[in-house]
Amino acid sequence: MPTRPWLRPSNAVTTVAAALLVAGLGGGLPALAESPEDKGFEIAARSDRSDRGFTDSVVDLRMVLRNQAGQEAERSLKITTLEIPDEELGDKSLVLFDRPKDIDGTALLSHARILDPDDQWLYLPALKRVKRISSKNKSGPFVGSEFAFEDFTALELNKYTYRYMGEEVIDGLATDVVERIPRYENSGYSRQVSWIDQEIFQVRKVDFYDRRGDLLKTLTLLDYREYPGGVWRSHRFEMVNHQTGKSTDLLYEDYAFKTGLKDRDFVKGVLSRLR
């Protein structure tokens, strides 16, 4: 489920450190060329690492769903995230829906894992019921949008293997192009290609290829803004499905960081009192 799309803290500091160490040693030994896999990982890790130490965040966003005919439907929701420093665990997050009004108060709690399935609980306000749900559904659409569940949850560095593909200038930005292949089970993607800029190391664009290897979707990340502590967030995500012609935009309000949230705010018991 949605945590902070495309912006995750590194959960592999030691791996990163090792990679940097290897890179450093490699610098002194010109005979050892860096493999595309190492370089791809290094670029992804640098991007991932730029997000560390955000502690917690709260953000309101609007989701605009568009069909082939251009008809729009909207959702509004709040995403609250707790950074978990332990490298072997993922972050914890709460998604609370406000609109459409018939799902007002519906909430989803996720405890992300790296390669194991996430723990997820859904709160249904009509019955005041909390239901533990299966998180096997990685590739299904999230609330009818062009975003799949895994597009929100699978952002931990170690959920992929990487390969450096080269450099490219997009929209006037010099970027590194890195291919990533999901390591976790039940992904709907055979591979993804990401464009990471060379200035602030943020993901600017991603192409998603389906299980057959055909281009399925393109995500463009726009309106990056810097927050105190050097944390960058995109405030506009545009996902286009090339096979259906449908699209979904995510429009973020300003983030609040370090709001003092604790582990205890991310337990299933709080779902019925969220506001």
Cα–Cα distance, 250 to 227 (Å, whole number): 19
Task: Select from 18, 136, 222, 229 the one that contacts another protein (CB under 8 A).
Answer: 136
Task: Select from 15, 50, 137, 161 the one that contacts another protein (CB under 8 A).
Answer: 137
Please identify, among the stretches 44-52, 54-62, 138-146, 225-233, the one whose residues bind another protein according to the rule CB under 8 A.
Answer: 138-146
Q: Which of residues 151-190 bind another protein (CB under 8 A)?
A: 188
Task: Select from 88, 104, 171, 253 the one that contacts another protein (CB under 8 A).
Answer: 104
Residue 214 engages another protein in binding (rule: CB under 8 A):
no
Please confirm whether the linkage preceding 228 is cis (ω < 30° from 0).
Answer: no
Q: Kindly tell me the burial class for residue 169, based on how many C-beta atoms sit within 10 Å of its own C-beta (0-12, 13-18, 19 or more).
A: exposed
Residue 132 engages another protein in binding (rule: CB under 8 A):
yes
Task: Select from 27, 85, 144, 213 the one that contacts another protein (CB under 8 A).
Answer: 144
Q: Which of residues 52-71 bind another protein (CB under 8 A)?
A: 65, 67
Two tokens, residue 32: 């050892």
Cα–Cα distance, 22 to 35 (Å, whole number): 11
Residue 89 engages another protein in binding (rule: CB under 8 A):
no
Residue 275 engages another protein in binding (rule: CB under 8 A):
yes
Q: Which residues pair with 210 in a beta bridge?
A: 189
Task: Select from 61, 143, 154, 231 the one that contacts another protein (CB under 8 A).
Answer: 143
Residue 273 engages another protein in binding (rule: CB under 8 A):
yes
Cα-flanking dihedrals φ and ψ of residue 208, to 5°?
-110, 130
HSE (side-chain half, CA atoms, 13 Å) at 73: 12
Comparison of 139 and 161: residue with beta carbon closer to another protein: 139
Residue 140 engages another protein in binding (rule: CB under 8 A):
yes
Query: DSSP H helical segments within the chain, as ranges?
Result: 13-28, 36-49, 149-153
Report the 10 Å Cβ neighbour count for 100.
12
Residue 230 engages another protein in binding (rule: CB under 8 A):
no
Q: Which residues contact 3 (CB under 8 A, 6 or more apart)?
A: 79, 81, 90, 91, 93, 110, 112, 152, 153, 155
Residue 15 engages another protein in binding (rule: CB under 8 A):
no
Return the DSSP state at 125.
T
Residue 128 engages another protein in binding (rule: CB under 8 A):
yes
Comparison of 63 and 203: residue with beta carbon closer to another protein: 63
Q: Which residues contact 187 (CB under 8 A, 6 or more apart)?
A: 138, 139, 150, 154
Q: Which of residues 238-267 bind another protein (CB under 8 A)?
A: 264, 267
Task: Select from 14, 27, 74, 222 the one that contacts another protein (CB under 8 A).
Answer: 74
- Sign for the pseudo-dihedral over CA of 81, 41, 188, 132: negative
**What is the closest distance, in whole angstroms, from the C-beta atom of residue 184 to another protein in the complex?**
13
Task: Select from 101, 166, 172, 199 the one that contacts another protein (CB under 8 A).
Answer: 101
Return the DSSP state at 89.
S
Binding site for another protein (CB under 8 A): 65, 67, 73-74, 99-105, 117, 119, 127-134, 136-137, 139-141, 143-144, 188, 264, 267-270, 273, 275
